[in-house]
Structure 1
Amino acid sequence: MDYFTYQNGTMYCEDTSLEQIASEIGTPFYVYSAKSFTDSFNTFSNAFEGRERIICFAVKSCPNIGILSLLASLGAGADIVSGGELDRALKAGINPQKIVFAGVGKTRQEIHEALEAGILMFNAESEQELDVLNDEARKLGKRAKIAIRVNPNVDPKTHPYISTGLKKNKFGISVETVREQFRYAAGLDSLDVEGVHCHIGSQLTDVSPFADAAKIMVSLIKDLRADGINIKYLDMGGGLGITYKDETVPKHEDYAKAILDAVGDLDITLIFEPGRNLSGNAGVLVTRVLYTKDSGTKHFKVVDAAMNDLARPSLYDAYHGIKPVYETENRITCDVVGPICETGDFLARDRDIADVPVDGLYAVLSAGAYGMSMASNYNSRPRAAEVLVSGGKYYIIRRRETYADLTGPESVPAFLRNR
């Protein structure tokens, strides 16, 4: 279902005009549909009806605490990869017993904080990490529940930068050697080995790699139980994609069937970590045209959003649809570029799009995942505002940054003062 539609020639998010928001808070801004998040989460979870499951939203995809609070109200947990994401999840009201902590480089401080918070489980990625987890748990007089992340060497058939389940990737422990690591972890005095974890990549548009990985995990769980290690959780990670352009993405029901067919009647609690699949098409980036240029060989639309606001086109050469906020039949082939002093600062290149005039508005689609979360202050640009729409009302869930925000953490050293 499309939550960004035209009403009388103007684009709306649910029942709220994007032009109205732009006129009241300025541009650029991210705007998210609460109904999109709600419907996507419920559809995902309901696809596994009848099975014990925990749906842990991948915080890295869209970390605003307003969004996380909405998901918490729906019963979501959180997949985190840093202490900062833990703090966000807790502030948003997510139950610590629905939080899983992944990532190859957890610090002792982050582990300490997560143990104190009482999270469900750490997804460990190396033998050295197992030792640190055990040491920190012992110091606190606690037990750390862990899963070990398995690298199943399954090709996710996605962009190489977001492929994580092949031997050449940095994530997890090889499926050929991981059983030994499980035995090692089970012998440590302050760890409870309760899960297996895998995550093979992002933006997958085929369920077969998920099914292949699930079969490998099920076989491993049976072997581990035979070793006397009582595995309670199978964490299949995330990775199910969205439609950016013309991709055909499996329905949640098809994804669930592929996983459940592989799991069979295994007595296990399933954990999933969807991020982009819930957030990607729930948000757009609204930007205003500042100038138009014609170089003789190229046309350019210079807009007030840039690569610091949405990095994916520059970073991955990723496609994001671009539509006018006001419908028009006029078309142009052009580059949509931002104000940053980099040739790589573009939102689209050689794109046939609506010909929006100066001061007109574009909506950059499918920007809810890895948009604001990857934004920076490059060129000392304040980051955009974020807005959550529910029906006919909108709520500012992150104000636009000011210049004072940019320099607030900085200081001039004493020897340079009063010169």
Structure 2
Amino acid sequence: MDYKKLKDEFQTPFYIYNFDAIKEKFLELKNAFKARKSQIFYAVKANSNLSLLQMLVKLDSGFDCVSIGEVKRALKVGAKPYKIIFSGVGKTKEELKLALKYNILYINLESEAEMMLLEQVAKELNTKARISIRVNPNVDAKTHPYISTGLNENKFGVEIESAKKMYIYANNSSFLEPIGVHFHIGSQLLDLSPIYEAANIVAKLAKELKALKIDLKFFDIGGGLGIAYKKGDLEPNLYEYAQGILANLNGLDVTIGMEPGRFLVAQNGEFVCSVLYEKYNKTKRFVIVDGAMNDLIRPSLYEAYHEIYMPYNRGEESLCDVVGGVCESGDFFAKERLLPHTQNDDIMVIKNAGAYGFSMSSNYNTRNKVCELALENGMIRLIRQRESFEDQIALEEKFIKV
């Protein structure tokens, strides 16, 4: 890739996504489950750019949304309502009302209190709400504690016995229709055994519910498939992943739902920035770049590792911290990383940044959000323009007292 040409045309920093590679990965996952009825629901939170979502619509993807804003994004680009599910622990009454009006596939409940609110909303609208319940199987995903979601100590989902009572209640309600069961134990999973364990536990629940004449049609295994951020990490084998899930669903006639996000987009996105300066103190070398934690917060938030590539610099290397200009000591992309000595304007590529990069970015320190580019069919195009200061203050400016 000609990063110099891209820098001349679009300036740094920017994100660039390989749509062709994302398509390949999507079809690879879909093909792994071809032996059974299945539906991919892309996790919009990973990367919610409208052009990316539109590309996935053309591949017949569904969408897993965790806010009504994400539901609106999916609908905006032509997603069919019956391919949208709405999850998340903190849905408001207004969000539930809109989800029912949009007639999406189902609402994924995370508590008994939420179920009672949804029943009330459905009654007010004189409609029936299709639901799934997110079951917390109390399985350790063996991942970073901030992205572990399947233990009793996590805020997500309900315990097995509570879920069973909720299903029975919903099945007897005139305004609720249970059609699915769901679990998601965490993100960035490289060891598949916890997913198989969770699938086994939740499949037993599904069979019990079927025996009670509760007609479940969807068995949603969540997302969480990890990627190799570091050299030496072994990514899950998709055939083994599918077979491990299917082995636990013997006797269940259900459509398998899955919610990949990071798995599809992380490795197929890069954050490209430029070196501003090098700085030394007695013990440290700092490489200061024009990107910062407001653009890509994963290293600051999780101490996440991202490979760094200097496409035009093969000089002598030494250890350094790669940092941005935000006024926080936690503003870094790498610590104690072996990199070539740099000069002003050297281009730096931060790899595996397609997921939870731009979607978690902010305007902290009144920094503008960067532009986003897409590579598709050999052509590069702009899919989000760089924000300006005027864009940032547009919702505040009219309130200034003169």
Deviation, structure 1 residue 54? 0.9
Tell me which residue corresponds to 1:34: 19
Q: Distance in 2 between matches of 1:354 and 1:112?
A: 55
Tell me which residue corresponds to 1:222: 207
Q: Structure 2 counterpart of 1:232, which letter?
A: K
Secondary structure in 1 matching 2:88 = coil
**Tell me, which stretches of 5 or more residues in structure 2 are unaligned?**
none
Secondary structure in 2 matching 1:221 = helix
Q: Distance in 2 between matches of 1:354 and 1:63?
A: 34
Secondary structure in 1 matching 2:154 = coil
Q: Is the 8 A contact 1:356 1:362 kept in 2?
A: no
Note the alpha carbon deviations across 1:205-240, whole angstroms, 9 max, x for none: 011111111111111011011112111110111001
Q: Distance in 2 between matches of 1:142 and 1:327?
A: 62
Deviation, structure 1 residue 353? 1.9
Note the alpha carbon deviations across 1:238-289, whole angstroms, 9 max, x for none: 0010010132111211211111111124211110000000011010000000
Note the alpha carbon deviations across 1:122-152, whole angstroms, 9 max, x for none: 1101111111111222222221110011000
Matches within 5 A, 1:325-364: 325-364=311-350
Tell me which residue corresponds to 1:137: 122
Match 1:241 to one of 216, 226, 230:
226
Q: Distance in 1 between matches of 2:70 and 2:240?
A: 30
Secondary structure in 2 matching 1:218 = helix
Q: Distance in 2 between matches of 1:86 and 1:178?
A: 25
**Greater shift in the superposed pair: 348-357 or 45-54:** 348-357
Q: Distance in 1 between matches of 2:35 and 2:267?
A: 28
TM-score (norm 1): 0.94
Q: Distance in 1 between matches of 2:389 and 2:266?
A: 29
Deviation, structure 1 residue 189? 1.4
- Percent of paired sites with the same residue: 45
Q: Distance in 2 between matches of 1:175 and 1:362?
A: 48
Match 1:286 to one of 250, 268, 272:
272
Q: Structure 2 counterpart of 1:227, which letter?
A: L
Match 1:204 to one of 189, 192, 196:
189
Q: Is the 8 A contact 2:313 2:342 kept in 1?
A: no
Q: Is the 8 A contact 2:148 2:186 kept in 1?
A: yes
Q: Distance in 2 between matches of 1:210 and 1:42?
A: 21
Tell me which residue corresponds to 2:258: 272
Note the alpha carbon deviations across 1:160-218, whole angstroms, 9 max, x for none: 00000000001111113321111112122111111111000000001111111111111
Tell me which residue corresponds to 1:8: none
Tell me which residue corresponds to 1:118: 103
Distance 1:391 1:360, change over 3 A: farther
Q: Distance in 1 between matches of 2:398 and 2:9?
A: 36
Match 1:148 to one of 124, 133, 137:
133
Tell me which residue corresponds to 1:180: 165
Q: Distance in 2 between matches of 1:288 and 1:400?
A: 16
Deviation, structure 1 residue 327? 4.7
The runs of 4+ residues in structure 1 deviating greater than 3 Å are: 411-414
Tell me which residue corresponds to 2:75: 90
Q: Distance in 1 between matches of 2:235 and 2:399?
A: 54
Secondary structure in 2 matching 1:363 = strand
1:65 equivalent to 2:50? Answer: yes
TM-score (norm 2): 0.97
Deviation, structure 1 residue 412? 5.7
1:386 equivalent to 2:378? Answer: no
Q: Structure 2 counterpart of 1:303, which letter?
A: V
Q: Structure 1 counterpart of 2:159, which letter?
A: S
Deviation, structure 1 residue 336? 0.5
Q: Distance in 2 between matches of 1:394 and 1:285?
A: 15
Q: Structure 2 counterpart of 1:364, which letter?
A: I
Note the alpha carbon deviations across 1:76-134, whole angstroms, 9 max, x for none: 01000001101111112211111111100111111111111111011101111111111
Q: Structure 1 counterpart of 2:45, which letter?
A: K
Q: Is the 8 A contact 1:150 1:197 kept in 2?
A: yes
Q: Is the 8 A contact 1:323 1:354 kept in 2?
A: no
Secondary structure in 2 matching 1:389 = strand
Tell me which residue corresponds to 1:9: none
**Greater shift in the superposed pair: 190-199 or 248-257:** 248-257
**Tell me, which stretches of 5 or more residues in structure 1 are unaligned?**
1-11
1:322 equivalent to 2:301? Answer: no
Q: Structure 2 counterpart of 1:250, which letter?
A: P
Deviation, structure 1 residue 354? 3.2
Q: Is the 8 A contact 1:202 1:238 kept in 2?
A: yes
Q: Is the 8 A contact 2:110 2:156 kept in 1?
A: yes
Q: Distance in 2 between matches of 1:56 and 1:175?
A: 24
Tell me which residue corresponds to 2:59: 74
Note the alpha carbon deviations across 1:319-352, whole angstroms, 9 max, x for none: 0000012251432211100011111110001101
Q: Is the 8 A contact 1:19 1:325 kept in 2?
A: no
Between the two proteins, the alignment pairs up a number of residues equal to 401
